[in-house]
């Protein structure tokens, strides 16, 4: 216990000393932002099925039958097993206040990842015929997200340094020195598409397939706070 108390005391002393040194050092603190706009090359589709009824076994059986057809449909497109999976499954009881009766609802969602966006229209063309009654979302991603995030971070630091230099440029006899504190203010998120799909049905009378997907761009953003020494 004494060793722990001594360790805590030493850490507290070190932090306090570091804060005092930081206060005594002339510095400038600025924020920086780096943005990279990229065209997505991956699309993730959430297919869902829901049935309700008085018998829980019956609604579960209905869902299972539909999901079986969905999986067969996915396999028809030679999509690797690693690129589709069940992401949600539930069976719950509802109470109808008006009729004073219980009903049951079964839900299941399958996530499908297409690494070739050009296959989207063909995949979505007949997927409704499998019996699904929900499309819970379409999300665009990039296979090079980590690479672009690295680039965005570098741009954020460069942006912060440029800001600091702009401020200091009007001060006589000072210049921006080394960075002493860098804080990452970025947030991890799954980018949503700029535009959603317009529809799933092809125009049978048209000579060309109808364009139903506007993929737009993904904006990858990195934000930092940086404190530089003033020399």
Q: Are 138 and 44 in contact (CB under 8 A)?
A: yes
Q: Does domain 24-39+144-201+210-230 have CATH number 3.30.110.170?
A: yes
Q: Which pLDDT score is estimated for 178?
A: 96
> What SS3 state is found at 175?
coil
- C-alpha gyration radius of the chain: 28
**What pLDDT score was predicted for residue 195?**
38
15 is written with which tokens?
């932090």
Task: State the Cα angle at 37 between 36 and 40, rounded to 5°.
Answer: 125
Fold match between domain 24-39+144-201+210-230 and domain 42-141: no
Identify the pLDDT of residue 14.
53
**Residues in the chain with pLDDT < 70?**
1-23, 188-214
* Residue 147 near residue 200, CB atoms below 8 Å: no
Model confidence pLDDT, tens digit, residues 55-102:
999 999 999 999 999 999 999 999 999 999 999 999 999 887 777 788
pTM of structure: 0.68
Residue 221's pLDDT is 93
Kindly list the domain boundaries of the chain, sorted by start residue: 24-39+144-201+210-230, 42-141
pLDDT of residue 7: 53
Q: In Å, how far are 23, 29, 44 from 182, measured between CA atoms?
A: 16, 10, 34
Query: What is the residue whose two structure tokens read 């999986």?
Result: 71
**What's the CA gap between 162 and 121, in Å, rounded?**
45
- Partnered with residue 35 across adjacent β-strands are 221
Architecture of domain 42-141: 2-Layer Sandwich (3.30)
């Amino acid at each position: 216990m004494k060793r722990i108390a001594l360790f805590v005391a030493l850490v507290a002393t070190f932090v306090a000393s570091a804060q005092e040194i930081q206060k005594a050092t002339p510095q400038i603190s600025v924020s920086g932002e780096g943005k990279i706009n990229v065209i997505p090359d991956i699309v993730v589709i959430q297919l869902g099925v829901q049935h309700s009824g008085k018998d829980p076994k019956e609604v579960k059986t209905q869902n299972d039958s539909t999901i079986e057809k969905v999986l067969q449909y996915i396999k028809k497109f030679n999509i690797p097993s690693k690129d589709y999976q069940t992401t949600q499954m539930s069976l719950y009881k509802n109470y109808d206040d008006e009729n004073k009766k219980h009903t049951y609802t079964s839900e299941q969602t399958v996530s499908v990842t297409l690494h070739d966006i050009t296959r989207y229209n063909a995949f979505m063309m007949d997927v409704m015929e499998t019996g699904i009654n929900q499309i819970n979302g379409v999300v665009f991603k990039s296979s090079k997200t980590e690479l672009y995030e690295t680039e965005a971070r570098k741009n954020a630091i460069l942006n912060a340094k440029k800001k600091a230099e702009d401020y200091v440029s009007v001060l006589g006899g000072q210049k921006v020195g080394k960075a002493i504190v860098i804080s990452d203010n970025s947030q991890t998120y799954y980018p949503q598409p700029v535009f959603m799909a317009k529809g799933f049905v092809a125009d049978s009378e048209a000579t060309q397939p109808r364009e139903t997907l506007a993929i737009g761009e993904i904006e990858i953003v990195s934000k930092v706070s940086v404190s530089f020494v003033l020399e």
